[in-house]
Structure 1
Amino acid sequence: MASGGTGKSFLALDIAISQVIGRPVADGLFPSTNQHKVVYLAGEESDRLLAERLRCMLTKRERELPTLQNLILLAMSGNDCLLVSRGQPTSLLNELENVAQGARLIILDPIRRLHDGDENDSAAMTQFVIALESLAKKTGAAVIGLHHTNRASVEDASSQHASRGSSALVDGARWQINLSTMNEKTAAVCGKSNEDRHNFVALDFVKGNYFSPRPRSWLKRDPNGSLKLVTLNKSQPKGKTVGGAHLIF
């Protein structure tokens, strides 16, 4: 889940690339794994934009790796990409199930583009969650959905319930991380200017049904938009954060 400009799509794409070529995510946020097939459905992006992001995020050597063919990018900008319509699975969901056979991971960005229900309606969002559970079951892949925060999250972007819409989305997720831009108070403690603080993003592990709790991590945006793991002054207070973003797993 994300408000614009936080970097959630860049992080999600880095997760996808890292799974495919077997490298650590964000320079160490998550360790490297075996190489896997990944399907990334980009509801707001064009082929050209995704290709440019890939070019910026891959080294010259990585661009030549044969395993990149296992990264399936579905650029859906300007197209109907509903997976659930009026509470029922669509033909696109069936097509996605077929494309994702053998995949280890499916990323859906953003989930608001993928259904036409009222996101504040618990019943409608429960039906959407059920559709994603079915997608995971039929493909054997983990499913990541990206979603926006609510306005109240300005006060506490690290809350499990900072997501926009019905809590059915959060309740249905097994793992959730929130992203939020560094605030002015934290920037002052860390010696960052007000302009520079927007390049630093807090990552909070707010829900993990199958994982042990992890402390907050900090990421820094590079000139290409990618997020990289960094270490900040340990004396800084946690503070509040703004510009929240969530990734729901």
Structure 2
Amino acid sequence: MTENSIIRFGCEATAYSRKLETLFASDLMRKPRPHDWLVRGFLEHDTLVLLFGDPAVGKSLLALDWAASVATGRDWCGNRVERGLVFYLAGEGHHGLSRRLKAWGIATGMECLRGEELWDMPLVVSRHSVGLPSETRMAIEAIDKAADRGGKPRLIIIDTLARCIDGNENSASDMGGFIAACDEMRRRYGCAVLILHHSGHENKNRARAHSSLTCAVDAAYHMHGLNSGIRRLDCTKSKDFEPPAARHFIIHKTLLPPEWWDGNAPTTVPVLVECDESGKAINEPPPF
């Protein structure tokens, strides 16, 4: 391995300093490891997770829903959530995240329950994308700084792969570098790393990019739209747990308070709301 390849894969601090940890099978069996859920049934700690789908299908809305649920400890769709710091690497759409967070608080009722305290939740959002793996160190320094205030991160979100990968997503070597950078962050914090990406151009049921991406992740989820306008979330890979049943969602337009309006024009922001297969909301959000 040359010096350049070490830097390229974002491993300059670990390539020669990390030691290979080993266990005899007898020791392994004396230390049972039950599932360590972040979002029960969907996201585990210390895993690499892929969420893919077409543009504008609701991937970022789901990622923000997971992020805010973890940052507040709110159950997600009836599933227990472990609260902790979330670090959101926003490669796109970061200007609208404040409005979406406000709408999430209104639609979930969390703003009424917790008021201003809600906005002290440990959710940190980057103001620009980073290149992975070349800027892995910069990302880790920012996460470490956030951890000094909010504790060890439970979830890191990369939105999106296309905006954060160095090079060509169809290249085995470029994808290898990106995955190595994600794994470096996962190992450092023992957290879940969620990667948002787009569906394939021809096969919508798989993620775009080199096949090594799907091979590398521990779990994968496909968000896609149905003819009725309902969004469906399917688990397409779950390496170490029983795949959860499909979930259905509608996109609810949430009215923001007047101080968030553009002049006198009322401003509404989309929020993902769980529904049944017919499109009826399971927990009806507040009316306008």
Shorter-normalised TM range: 0.7 to 0.9
CA drift of 1:100 comes to: 5.5
Aligned residue among 71, 85, 89 for 1:41: 89
Amino acid at match of 1:16: A
C-alpha contact (below 8 Å) 2:85/2:154 kept by paired residues: yes
C-alpha contact (below 8 Å) 1:100/1:139 kept by paired residues: no
Query: Aligned residue for 2:172?
Result: 122
- Could you say if the C-alpha distance between residues 217 and 94 of structure 1 is closer, same or farther in structure 2, counting changes exceeding 3 Å? closer
Query: Aligned residue for 1:171?
Result: 215
Q: Deviations over 1:182-213 (max 9, x none)?
A: 03xxxxxxxxxxxxx23x11111111112102
- Matching of residues 108-147 of structure 1 within 5 Å: 108-147=158-197
**Any unmatched runs of 5+ in structure 2?**
1-51, 254-268, 279-288
Aligned residue among 117, 132, 141 for 1:65: 117
Query: Aligned residue for 1:83?
Result: 132
Amino acid at match of 2:131: L
C-alpha contact (below 8 Å) 1:82/1:92 kept by paired residues: no
Once residues 99 and 209 of structure 1 are traced to their aligned partners in structure 2, the CA distance between those partners, rounded to angstroms, is 32
Once residues 97 and 18 of structure 1 are traced to their aligned partners in structure 2, the CA distance between those partners, rounded to angstroms, is 19
Query: Aligned residue for 2:69?
Result: 18
CA drift of 1:99 comes to: 3.7
Larger Rg: 2
- The alignment partner of 1:84 has SS state of coil
C-alpha contact (below 8 Å) 2:219/2:238 kept by paired residues: yes
Once residues 16 and 68 of structure 1 are traced to their aligned partners in structure 2, the CA distance between those partners, rounded to angstroms, is 14
- Could you say if the C-alpha distance between residues 127 and 111 of structure 1 is closer, same or farther in structure 2, counting changes exceeding 3 Å? same
TM-score (norm: length of structure 1): 0.75
Aligned residue among 57, 62, 84 for 1:6: 57
CA drift of 1:66 comes to: 5.4
Query: Aligned residue for 1:192?
Result: none
- Could you say if the C-alpha distance between residues 63 and 2 of structure 1 is closer, same or farther in structure 2, counting changes exceeding 3 Å? farther
CA drift of 1:65 comes to: 2.4
Cα RMSD, aligned residues only: 2.0
Q: Deviations over 1:116-155 (max 9, x none)?
A: 221111222122111101111112221001011111234x
Q: Deviations over 1:152-196 (max 9, x none)?
A: 234xx2xxxx1111011111110111011003xxxxxxxxxxxxx
Query: Aligned residue for 1:107?
Result: 157
- Could you say if the C-alpha distance between residues 170 and 232 of structure 1 is closer, same or farther in structure 2, counting changes exceeding 3 Å? same
Once residues 160 and 146 of structure 2 are traced to their aligned partners in structure 1, the CA distance between those partners, rounded to angstroms, is 18
Once residues 232 and 247 of structure 2 are traced to their aligned partners in structure 1, the CA distance between those partners, rounded to angstroms, is 6
Once residues 245 and 82 of structure 2 are traced to their aligned partners in structure 1, the CA distance between those partners, rounded to angstroms, is 25
Once residues 100 and 173 of structure 2 are traced to their aligned partners in structure 1, the CA distance between those partners, rounded to angstroms, is 36
Runs of 4+ in structure 1 off by over 3 angstroms are 66-69
C-alpha contact (below 8 Å) 2:72/2:121 kept by paired residues: no
Q: Deviations over 1:39-65 (max 9, x none)?
A: 111111234x11111111103334522
TM-score (norm: length of structure 2): 0.65
